[in-house]
């Protein structure tokens, strides 16, 4: 049965309670931390050797689509009524709007150590101790909007700049690609500092704290953010005449990206699926 993913600002009190309840149950069982570990393991940058699947590569979108599906499957084993909501950050743009409410993700981190002290994922509840991390922190941290060096969430216009690009991705298929929907959405811009963070990356920066690095999955907002990114991929597909994943075939031996990226019909580790098999989600879930 096809299920729906909803805008987080439209969830009922019962839907919020059930989503939070299922997350806490996965955490309690240790399953949640496996997702954090997988994301840390696949956090490979351009500058490193080897295959890049999750970031700075064409498969950024299908990799995270499958990652969300795995989490969602685990959540639905706990409670079959649950799906991952999406956070439309072009509309809900303040540190007190959805999803930062006490009945869902809780609010901002406190001054000083940035510890989240409200909502179900506050350290004091005892239900959300961070065990897999790239630092030694054990509590969830946030720095919404980064008040000491303010950064804004991306706007609808920033998003439009990505959505209007007719190519899925383009050479050199990494974080320096100037053309292509994928990198404009993933958000590796030219230059340094604030202006170089676009769309997806800029949202990670705006949330701050745990959302900054490879262990960003420790903040449950990760899933809501990536559900919106996933929805934007479908919106982009429905707008263009050639919406297929690129590259269609692997870069030739001897070229810079040979063996470093996944082509349309190649396996996308750690899963036994290809980008081609992940391009259409409508048989599994729909966005409303
Ligand atoms: Cu990621
Ligand atoms: Cu991300």
Per-residue confidence at 54, pLDDT binned at 50, 70, 90?
very high
Preceding peptide of 172 cis, ω within 30°: yes
pLDDT (tens digit per residue) in 139-189: 999 999 999 999 999 999 999 999 999 999 999 999 999 999 999 999 998
DSSP state of 203: H
The pLDDT score that the predictor gives to residue 217 is 98
Ligand 1 centroid, distance to 222 Cα (angstroms): 8
Ligand 2 centroid, distance to 88 Cα (angstroms): 14
Burial class (CB in 10 A: 0-12, 13-18, 19+), 21: middle
pLDDT (tens digit per residue) in 5-33: 999 999 999 999 999 999 999 999 999 99
Number of H helices, E strands in the chain: 7, 2
Ligand 1 centroid, distance to 28 Cα (angstroms): 23
pLDDT (tens digit per residue) in 218-241: 999 999 999 999 999 999 999 999
Structural contact between residues 149 and 135, judged by C-beta atoms closer than 8 angstroms: no
Ligand 2 centroid, distance to 254 Cα (angstroms): 31
Per-residue confidence at 46, pLDDT binned at 50, 70, 90?
confident
pLDDT (tens digit per residue) in 75-109: 999 999 999 999 999 999 999 999 999 999 999 99
Structural contact between residues 264 and 247, judged by C-beta atoms closer than 8 angstroms: yes
Ligand 1 centroid, distance to 203 Cα (angstroms): 12
Q: Kindly tell me if the per-residue pLDDT of 278 is higher than 90.
A: yes
Smallest-distance ligand from the CA of 206: 2
3-state secondary structure of 151: coil
- pLDDT above 90 covers what percent of the chain? 93
What domain count does the chain have? Answer: 1
The pLDDT score that the predictor gives to residue 256 is 93
Per-residue confidence at 196, pLDDT binned at 50, 70, 90?
confident
Buried b (16+ CB within 10 A) or exposed e, 237-270: eeeeeebebbbeebbeeeeebeebbbbbebebee
Backbone phi, then psi, for 228, in 5-degree steps? -70, -40
What stretches of the chain show up as alpha helix (H) in DSSP? 13-29, 31-41, 60-78, 156-163, 181-186, 199-207, 221-237
pLDDT (tens digit per residue) in 128-142: 999 998 888 899 999
Rounded Cα distance, 47 and 49, in Å: 7
Smallest-distance ligand from the CA of 67: 1
The pLDDT score that the predictor gives to residue 142 is 98
Neighbours of 140 (CB within 10 A): 26
User: Residue 13 sits in which domain range?
Assistant: 3-287
Domain containing residue 209: CATH number: 1.10.1280.10
Rounded Cα distance, 191 and 274, in Å: 33
The pLDDT score that the predictor gives to residue 134 is 87
Ligand 1 centroid, distance to 39 Cα (angstroms): 6
Q: Kindly tell me if the per-residue pLDDT of 110 is higher than 90.
A: yes
Smallest-distance ligand from the CA of 202: 2
Q: Which sign does the torsion angle of CA 84, 85, 88, 94 carry?
A: negative
Neighbours of 50 (CB within 10 A): 8
The pLDDT score that the predictor gives to residue 283 is 97
Q: Kindly tell me if the per-residue pLDDT of 195 is higher than 80.
A: no
The pLDDT score that the predictor gives to residue 191 is 74
DSSP state of 63: H
Q: Kindly tell me if the per-residue pLDDT of 45 is higher than 90.
A: no
Query: What Å distances lie between residue 265 and 247, 262, 268, CA to CA?
Result: 9, 8, 9
Rounded Cα distance, 101 and 107, in Å: 6
What's the pTM value of the predicted model, to 2 decimals?
Answer: 0.97
């Amino acid at each position: 049965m096809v299920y729906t993913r909803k805008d987080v600002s439209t969830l009922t009190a019962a839907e919020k309670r059930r989503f939070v309840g299922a997350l806490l149950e996965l955490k309690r069982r240790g399953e949640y931390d496996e997702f954090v570990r997988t994301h840390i393991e696949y956090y490979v940058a351009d500058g490193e050797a080897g295959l890049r699947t999750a970031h700075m590569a064409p498969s950024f979108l299908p990799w995270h689509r499958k990652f969300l599906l795995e989490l969602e499957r685990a959540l639905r084993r706990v409670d079959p009524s649950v799906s991952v909501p999406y956070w439309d950050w072009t509309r809900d743009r303040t540190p007190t709007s959805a999803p930062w409410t006490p009945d869902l993700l809780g609010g901002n981190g406190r001054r000083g150590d940035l510890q989240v002290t409200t909502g179900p994922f506050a350290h004091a509840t005892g239900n959300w101790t961070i065990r897999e991390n790239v630092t030694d922190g054990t509590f969830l941290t946030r720095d919404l909007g980064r008040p000491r060096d303010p950064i804004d969430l991306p706007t609808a216009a920033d998003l439009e700049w990505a959505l209007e690009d007719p190519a899925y991705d383009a050479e050199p298929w990494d974080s320096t690609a100037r053309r292509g929907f994928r990198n404009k959405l993933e958000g590796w811009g030219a230059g340094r500092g604030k202006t170089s963070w676009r769309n997806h990356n800029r949202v990670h920066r705006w949330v701050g704290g745990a959302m900054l690095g490879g262990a960003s999955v420790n903040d449950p907002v990760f899933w809501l953010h990536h559900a919106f990114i996933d929805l934007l991929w479908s919106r982009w597909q429905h707008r263009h005449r050639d919406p297929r994943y690129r590259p269609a075939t692997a870069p030739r031996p001897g070229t810079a990206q040979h063996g470093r990226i996944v082509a349309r019909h190649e396996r996308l580790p750690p899963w036994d699926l290809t980008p081609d098999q992940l391009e259409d989600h409508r048989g599994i879930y729909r966005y409303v």
